[in-house]
Amino acid sequence: MEPTGMTRRDLLACAGATIALPSLVAEAAKETAHPEGAEEALARLKEGNRRFAQGNTVHAHQSADWRKHLVGGQKPFATILGCSDSRVPVELVFDQGFGDLFIARVAGNVITTDVVGSLEYAVAHLSTSLIVVLGHQGCGAVTAAVQALNGPTRELPGIKKLVDLIEPGIPEAQPGHTHEQRIDAAVEANVRFSLKQLAQQPDVNAIIAAKKVQLVGAVYELNTGNVRFLDD
């Protein structure tokens, strides 16, 4: 039996055979079976975020017993590229726990060689069927890119390189938009830009097609706690 692919029924069966610890059964009971395929994975993320935003989190898969149960392997159901921002802790935002999500976090959720490698690993070796690029309201990296487009800024070289990666995806300023609206539009455009770059990587594209992986964009709203999936 694959430890990380256990369904609730598996665990209940184990409990009947006095193998599983009672707390493991309780953990599993908080969630239904491991999502199969991109649609189920997406639905699981949406349900989790709804619970989080409404203050009804269940904190499944967060006990010490569940942690130990994962020592032998992992089978996360989704891969997420998020921002480093301290206000967007991905597992919390989706009400998930240990072993549920494979996450790469980098300021501005930009596409770099290392990020591509991490995402490829998740799809090729862990068989996650969903990749989400998750931007967020008020992103500092995106804001820095917008400011850099408005004129020279003084940043450390590493930050400058990061901002340079974001700039090409920032749209023109729209007449009448407030600064906040400008940043909101830039955040969403930056998510789409990362998705586009991912889709343009031949190796990523091939593995996405072969493994029937879905690539989706989303934006997390700091004020409501909602994750808005793009193209919904």
Q: Which residues of this chain interact with Zn ion, rule CB under 5 A?
A: 83, 85, 139
- Cα–Cα distance measured from residue 11 to residue 147, given in angstroms and rounded to the nearest whole number: 53
In this structure, the strands spanning 130-136 and 214-220 are parallel
CB closer to Zn ion, 97 vs 169: 169
Answer whether 32's CB lies under 8 Å from 8's CB: yes
Burial of residue 110, with CB atoms counted within 10 A of its CB: 0-12 exposed, 13-18 middle, 19 or more buried: buried
Rounded to a whole number of angstroms, the minimum distance from the CB of residue 149 to Zn ion is: 17
Rounded to a whole number of angstroms, the minimum distance from the CB of residue 230 to Zn ion is: 16
CB closer to Zn ion, 81 vs 123: 81
- Cα–Cα distance measured from residue 93 to residue 225, given in angstroms and rounded to the nearest whole number: 7
Rounded to a whole number of angstroms, the minimum distance from the CB of residue 107 to Zn ion is: 6
CB closer to Zn ion, 130 vs 145: 145
Nearest to 90 by CA among 75, 106, 111, 74: 106
Rounded to a whole number of angstroms, the minimum distance from the CB of residue 136 to Zn ion is: 6
Answer whether 119's CB lies under 8 Å from 205's CB: no
CB closer to Zn ion, 97 vs 135: 135
In this structure, the strands spanning 227-229 and 214-220 are antiparallel
Rounded to a whole number of angstroms, the minimum distance from the CB of residue 90 to Zn ion is: 12
H runs (alpha helix) in the chain? 8-16, 22-29, 37-54, 64-69, 90-93, 113-126, 140-150, 157-166, 179-199, 202-210
CB closer to Zn ion, 99 vs 169: 169
CB closer to Zn ion, 47 vs 155: 155
Rounded to a whole number of angstroms, the minimum distance from the CB of residue 93 to Zn ion is: 13
Answer whether 219's CB lies under 8 Å from 228's CB: yes
